[in-house]
Amino acid sequence: MPSSLQLAADDPALLEAVKRCRKLLHKRALAGAAAGAVPVPGLDFLVDAALLSKLLPAINAEFGLTPEQLDRLPQHKREQVQKAVAVVGSMLVGRFITKELVIRAAQAIGVRLTMKQAAKYVPLAGQAVAAVISYTALRYLGEEHIKDCVQVCRAAHLQPPVPRIEAA
């Protein structure tokens, strides 16, 4: 399967949105890895869930796919987006991100998360393994969501919004 960069390669606006999302994803995955290294059972899952509950809406926003952004589209464009979401099969594009949706997304990588919990009980090396698994799991979920957003934008002929300039 192609990466999100490959999916967006011939569309400069989509390509820039993917790059911004990947940069954000990398930062959040590093934070998840740091939490994964802490030997407190359950803390890493709570941090991962909190990170995902903020990351997924931020990715949606970069592509113009938050519920608020979609509500501002003309009716025919909203219908195109809804059809594209159905074709892509994403449960996270264009929706309010709830705790239940985050848990369902995390279940997709449940084996990795279980291994991460078990690895924490091995001193030092186990914590390092748990951190790597946490980073990898968040990167995987985020990258898959970025791909879904690119595919929805392409199928619905939707251009991502112009990025807002953030204050320093």
Q: Report yes or no on 162 lying in a domain.
A: no
Closest to 22 (Cα-Cα) out of 160, 109, 107, 145: 145
Q: Report yes or no on 168 lying in a domain.
A: no
Distance CA 111, CA 106 (A): 10
- As a whole number of Å, the end-to-end CA separation of the chain is 37
State which amino acid sits at residue 79: E
Q: Yes or no: say if 127 and 35 are a contact pair by the CB < 8 Å rule.
A: no
Confidence of residue 99 (pLDDT cuts 50, 70, 90): low
What's the total number of domains in the chain?
1
Predicted model pTM? 0.79
Q: Report yes or no on 164 lying in a domain.
A: no
Q: Report yes or no on 41 lying in a domain.
A: yes
- Which range, of 46-50, 110-114, 145-149, averages the lowest pLDDT? 110-114
At 156 the pLDDT is 92
Q: Which domain does 27 fall in, by range? A: 4-155
SS (HEC) of 76-104: HHHHHHHHHHHHHCCCCCCCCCCHHHHHH
Q: Report yes or no on 160 lying in a domain.
A: no
Q: Yes or no: say if 116 and 130 are a contact pair by the CB < 8 Å rule.
A: yes
Give yes or no for residue 108 having a pLDDT over 70.
Answer: no
Q: Report yes or no on 128 lying in a domain.
A: yes
Confidence of residue 47 (pLDDT cuts 50, 70, 90): confident
DSSP class of residue 38 equals: S
Q: Report yes or no on 166 lying in a domain.
A: no
At 168 the pLDDT is 43
